């Protein structure tokens, strides 16, 4: 599935939205330098936000701050859903108090029916404004965005962060704390006192990925952050992220992201200084 709204953000847009009818799953977590507001219109979706898994139903809203790892999926393959995704830069938020709340309140929000209808209608208006080409388009989109997020923060009830009491939550937390080490499936099973077959089955059931896929994706996400944040060379980054060699690191990096570490670094520098 092509994320057209995200493409607009990469091309320099400050605000972008898209309504999508789909039945696909995301198989790896990702993050981006902008906010994301996800409004589910139809269907049921599971969202993994860092170590936590949330279930969303129609009318629910997920909020993701910049650089927060997340992805969404359905329990069963080819399950239809309909959603509106709204992306926006921090600079698009006019009030510093609102911006501060948004940065630290990622998660699942429930809203009552009237507020939900109001937010849904504002999202619809924003989508229409996005297609306009008049000189008030950007101002209108910005005004609608700020109304939407303020309405959400004032009236939405944020669901408590799920506790990592489930097996999968504990495994994810363990991987996120130990991704830089050599993590073997047998060792994980022994650590949690279960069979590796049950562990693999439960992990795939709730995350739609294998444990090795999750480990590799986690390592590459941290590697991306290290590439952006410091001047370490790729050999040092590979070692710090749990790869036995720079060759293995490069091969896995491209398998997860579609580009080599060098291409990612070059693309990041071009976007940063453009």
The per-residue pLDDT for 161 is 67
Max mean pLDDT among 28-37, 148-157, 201-210, 259-268 falls in: 148-157
The lowest-confidence range among 25-34, 115-124, 134-143, 210-219 is 25-34
The per-residue pLDDT for 28 is 65
Dihedral sign, CA of 8, 9, 13, 17? positive
Mean pLDDT, the chain, rounded, equals 86
The per-residue pLDDT for 78 is 75
pLDDT, greater one: 112 or 271:
112
Note the pLDDT tens digit of each residue in 113-146: 899 999 999 999 999 999 988 899 999 999 999 9
Contact 153, 102 (CB under 8 A): yes
The structure's pTM equals 0.67
Report the alpha-carbon distance of residue 72 to residue 100 in Å, rounded.
25
The answer for residues whose C-beta is within 8 angstroms of residue 117's C-beta and 6 or more apart is: none
Binned at pLDDT 50, 70 and 90, residue 274 comes out as: very low
Report the alpha-carbon distance of residue 26 to residue 240 in Å, rounded.
27
Binned at pLDDT 50, 70 and 90, residue 66 comes out as: confident
Report the alpha-carbon distance of residue 180 to residue 249 in Å, rounded.
12
The per-residue pLDDT for 96 is 92
- What's the whole-number mean pLDDT along residues 97-124? 92
Q: Which residues pair with 81 in a beta bridge?
A: 22
The per-residue pLDDT for 140 is 95
**For residue 181, what are its two tokens?**
């080490």
The answer for residues whose C-beta is within 8 angstroms of residue 119's C-beta and 6 or more apart is: 39, 61, 111, 148, 151, 152
Q: Residue 74 above 90 pLDDT?
A: no
- What domains appear along the chain, each with residue ranges and CATH number? 4-158 (2.60.120.280), 167-273 (1.10.10.60)
Max mean pLDDT among 12-26, 141-155, 206-220 falls in: 141-155
Q: Residue 220 above 70 pLDDT?
A: yes
Report the alpha-carbon distance of residue 167 to residue 203 in Å, rounded.
8
- What's the whole-number mean pLDDT along residues 33-47? 91
Q: Residue 221 above 90 pLDDT?
A: no
Please list the alpha-helical segments (H only) found in the chain. Answer: 4-10, 96-104, 113-131, 137-155, 167-178, 185-191, 196-207, 211-229, 234-240, 246-257, 261-273
pLDDT, greater one: 172 or 3:
172
């Amino acid at each position: 599935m092509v994320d057209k709204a995200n493409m607009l953000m990469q091309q320099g847009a400050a605000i972008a939205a898209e309504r999508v009818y789909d039945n696909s799953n995301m198989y790896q977590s990702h993050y981006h330098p902008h906010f994301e507001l996800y409004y589910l219109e139809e269907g049921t979706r599971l969202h993994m936000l860092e170590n936590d898994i949330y279930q969303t139903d129609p009318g629910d809203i997920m909020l993701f701050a910049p650089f927060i790892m997340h992805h969404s999926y359905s329990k069963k393959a080819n399950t239809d859903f309909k959603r509106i995704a709204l992306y926006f830069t921090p600079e698009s938020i006019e009030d510093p108090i609102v911006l501060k709340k948004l940065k630290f309140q990622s998660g699942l929000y429930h809203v009552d029916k009237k507020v939900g209808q109001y937010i849904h209608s504002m999202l619809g208006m924003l989508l229409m404004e996005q297609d306009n080409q008049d000189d008030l388009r950007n101002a209108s989109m910005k005004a609608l965005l700020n109304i939407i997020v303020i309405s959400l923060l004032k009236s939405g009830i944020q669901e408590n962060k799920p506790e990592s009491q489930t097996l999968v939550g504990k495994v994810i937390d363990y991987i996120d704390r130990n991704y830089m080490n050599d993590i073997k499936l047998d060792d994980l099973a022994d650590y949690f006192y279960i069979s590796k077959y049950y562990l693999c089955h439960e992990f795939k059931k709730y995350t739609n990925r294998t444990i090795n896929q999750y480990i590799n994706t986690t390592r590459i996400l941290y590697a991306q952050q290290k590439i952006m944040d410091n001047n370490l060379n790729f050999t040092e980054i590979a070692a710090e992220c749990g790869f036995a060699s720079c060759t293995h690191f490069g091969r896995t990096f491209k398998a997860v992201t579609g580009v080599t570490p060098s291409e990612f670094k070059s693309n990041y520098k071009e976007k940063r200084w453009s």
